[in-house]
């Protein structure tokens, strides 16, 4: 009996939402591999179906997510690749994801770029994915189901370039209000970079931090946030430059 394998790296839960929306169209049993905490080797059969979602970080899939996904292998396993972004730029992220899945012996049958509320600049793509997006994602999912039955592979050309754009480290500061922090240590346990010390959740090692936003979104007290001159200067500029709606795109 085949399973639908939901595989995603979703610090702010937006990519998770898209992967689950696709998966809900399938009738098979579902299994979840959340790459924020799953960091082990895994291999799937050709009877499984993988739905793999990655956020876009400055035109690439996140470096730590890529390292974890490299450990997950297929055996001609049908796969749907999704790059989820905040209405700015996909650049090479979807191409990188498709390439990596194919290198790992998945049979990529379809791919998509989807739009979600931006995880850093909260004035961009507010309310996305909306009902229009979700309908398009469901329509795409049904086409994937039919294509998987035929055993076909992806034929559409995926936009992007090789070599991929270089990884960039954002200069933004993540700060924590020590008067608000409840010292629950949720941020410590979820950080994929181990950038928050076990004994001091108020501190963040910005040299290790990838600015993935997992610690911000998990904090029950809203004690963690982006701050600093670089962030405050970039926010209005970025939100103005990316205020025009971009649409999900699908490749079969």
pLDDT class of 252 with cuts at 50, 70, 90: very high
Q: Based on the domain organization, do 53 and 112 belong to the same domain?
A: yes
pLDDT tens digits, 192-231? 999 999 999 999 999 999 999 999 999 999 999 999 999 9
Q: Based on the domain organization, do 201 and 90 belong to the same domain?
A: no
Both tokens of residue 175? 């700060």
Structural domains in the chain (count)? 2
Q: Specify if 237 maps to a domain.
A: no
Task: Please report which helix (H) or strand (E) contains residue 215, including its range.
Answer: helix 214-218
Q: Based on the domain organization, do 77 and 98 belong to the same domain?
A: yes
pLDDT tens digits, 152-167? 999 999 999 999 999 9
**Residue (of 230, 94, 82) closest to 160 by Cα position:** 94
Mean pLDDT of 48-55: 98
Q: Based on the domain organization, do 204 and 152 belong to the same domain?
A: no
Tell me how many helices (H) and strands (E) the chain has: 7, 10
pLDDT class of 1 with cuts at 50, 70, 90: low
Q: Specify if 238 maps to a domain.
A: no
**Residue (of 160, 13, 16, 162) closest to 90 by Cα position:** 160
CATH of the domain at 208: 3.30.70.20
Q: Specify if 105 maps to a domain.
A: yes
Q: Based on the domain organization, do 63 and 137 belong to the same domain?
A: yes
Q: Based on the domain organization, do 190 and 70 belong to the same domain?
A: no
Q: Based on the domain organization, do 67 and 152 belong to the same domain?
A: yes
Q: Specify if 239 maps to a domain.
A: no
Q: Based on the domain organization, do 124 and 10 belong to the same domain?
A: yes
The reported pTM is 0.95
Q: Based on the domain organization, do 181 and 106 belong to the same domain?
A: no
- The domain containing residue 27 runs over which residues? 3-163+246-251
Average of per-residue pLDDT values in the chain: 96
Q: Based on the domain organization, do 136 and 221 belong to the same domain?
A: no
CATH of the domain at 99: 3.40.50.360
Secondary structure of residue 103 in the 3-state scheme: helix
pLDDT class of 2 with cuts at 50, 70, 90: confident
pLDDT at 87: 98
Q: Which residues pair with 232 in a beta bridge?
A: none
């Amino acid at each position: 009996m085949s399973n639908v394998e939901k595989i995603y790296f979703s610090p702010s839960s937006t990519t998770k939402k898209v992967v689950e929306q696709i998966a809900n169209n399938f009738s098979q049993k579902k299994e979840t591999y959340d790459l924020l905490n799953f960091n082990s080797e895994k291999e799937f059969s050709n009877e499984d179906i993988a739905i793999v979602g990655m956020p876009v970080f400055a035109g690439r899939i996140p470096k730590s997510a890529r390292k974890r996904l490299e450990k997950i292998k297929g055996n001609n396993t049908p796969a749907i690749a999704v790059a989820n972004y905040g209405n700015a730029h996909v650049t090479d992220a979807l191409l990188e994801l498709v390439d990596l899945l194919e290198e790992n012996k998945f049979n990529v049958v379809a791919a998509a770029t989807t739009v979600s509320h931006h995880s850093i600049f909260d004035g961009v793509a507010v309310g996305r994915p909306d009902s229009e997006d979700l309908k398009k994602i469901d329509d795409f999912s049904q086409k994937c189901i039919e294509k998987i039955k035929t055993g076909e592979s992806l034929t559409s050309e995926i936009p992007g370039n090789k070599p991929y754009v270089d990884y960039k480290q954002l200069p933004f500061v993540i700060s924590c209000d020590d008067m608000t922090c409840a010292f629950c240590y949720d941020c410590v346990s979820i950080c994929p970079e181990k950038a928050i010390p076990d004994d001091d959740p108020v501190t963040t090692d910005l040299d290790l931090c990838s600015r993935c936003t997992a610690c911000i979104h998990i904090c029950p007290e809203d004690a963690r946030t982006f701050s600093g001159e670089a962030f405050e200067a970039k926010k209005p500029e970025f939100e103005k430059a990316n205020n025009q709606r971009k649409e999900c795109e699908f490749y079969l």
